Chains A and B, each alone.
Chain A
Amino acid sequence: MKAILFAVVALLAVCAPAFATQCHVNPVNIPKEWVTMHRSCRDSMRHQIQEEVAASLQYLAMGAHFSKDTVNRPGFAKLFFDAASEEREHAMKLIEYLLMRGELTSDVTSLITIRPPERNNWANGVEALEHAVKMESSVTKSIRAVISACESAKDFNDYHLVDYLAGEFLDEQYKGQRDLAGKASTLKKMLERHPALGEFIFDKKLLGIDV
């Protein structure tokens, strides 16, 4: 009985396309020799995209913190909201690169997972800037890990991706880290004698207002 039922279902499945409305164009096959990225390299790129997204969410939380009425540091909030958008753009750039290399024809949905940011509170501006420096350092480290995965894949050094990551991403990382570290130093020096006023003035400076 079960076998008959199965046969009927199978028959229906075979015949179905003949009278079902087709709403899409059938996929086609074209040569794939040009799709050359190696698996370990691809996986580490995918991981890096998630890292950038996580950084964007952490920066959103920093922006939210410094926007609070009781914290009231609009300059810091702007700095971190802008940083959040930049991290999102980094994720987009990496995605663009994968697409250019013939990737992301499948497993796209699992590329990004949204998790609430780990931290939501900072004692003051210096603490947040220092946190940002540490975060960027760890992003830099993980980009270096991608580079090393992509230049050492078995029999395949992915020169172009390695060059792209080193030239575009590492460049931006090092400059960004230097900028944050400079800001943290300046602020920390100001705080030594004038903790409250120092952060107030620095915040307005971030907004572009000269007090």
Chain B
Amino acid sequence: MKVIASVALCLLACVGALAADQCYQDVSLDCGQASNTLALPRCNAIYGEYGRHGNVAKELQAYANLHLERSYEYLLSAAYFNNYQMNRAGFSKLFKKLSDDAWEKTIDLIKHVTMRGDVMNFAQRSIQKPVEKKNYTVELHELESLAKALDTQKELAERAFYIHREATRNSEHLHDPEVAQYLEEEFVEDQGKRIRDLAGHTSDLKQFITNNGQDLSLALYLFDEYLQKVV
């Protein structure tokens, strides 16, 4: 009897049908057995093709890890601008905000990975090419650091586009509106605004500098005061 049952089970699993009553079948099978624990392997949060086809599941973990790394990098930039020589409280505040936001998103992404019945892997990396890290440094002056922030924020935003694409159009076997909707609601909109803000800041600084750099030292001072108020 048990053999027949397990053959039937395997058949079901091998077909990979999106049967809606798999957990119920596990329960029916296991509850009649002379054992004091239940296995119920198919009573889990996995549905659709999440984790079975395509790379969305892995990319979502990698996305959490990317946010984690960026969060601590931004934190170091915030620290650098707050040393007594740089002494730019506004720039420091800007980076602290980026760091806080990235940290919050890290935890949110981890929760989302587990919400979909998956296990978070902190070593998971994206198959997307990462931004060059070899000469990475936080010890940059004002305009350079804004440029870096703009680039890394674009990387985060484009990564969201990429995962969205993988969850929808790009993959033959995977269509996952839940992931697409999550990215749209929690990431895409804010990222657009943040990128626009950073691009705006670099435009302002650019204008201060192109005027022969005459106004630069006062401009940077005032711009920092401005950042303290608006960030």
Contacts and interface: CB of A to CB of B under 8 A. Distances in A.
Contacts of A147: none
B139 A109 contact: yes
Contacts, number: 108
Interface of A: 21-25, 27-28, 53, 57, 60-61, 63-64, 67-70, 77, 81, 84-85, 88, 91-92, 95-96, 99, 102-106, 108-109, 111-112, 114, 116-117, 120
B120 interface: yes
A21 B213 CA distance: 8
A114 B69 contact: yes
Interface centre among A53, A85, A99 (most CB of B within 10 A): A99
A23 B144 contact: yes
Given A21-B209, A84-B107, A116-B122, A67 B144 contact: no
B80 A108 contact: yes
Contact of B122 (A21, A57, A85): A57
B75 A112 contact: yes
A109 B83 contact: no
A64 B114 contact: yes
A109 B110 contact: no
Contact of A85 (B46, B76, B103, B137): B103
Nearest to A95: B79
A117 B85 CA distance: 35
Contacts of B68: 57, 60, 114
A99 B107 contact: no
Interface string B26-51: 00000000000000000011100000
Given A25-B220, A109-B137, A67 B122 contact: no
B82 A68 contact: no
Interface in B118-156: 119-123, 136-139, 141-144
A61 B83 contact: no
B216 interface: yes
Contacts of A99: 79, 82-84
Contacts of A67: 110-111, 114-115
A118 to B, nearest CB: 10
A60 B216 contact: no
Contact of A69 (B72, B86, B114): B114
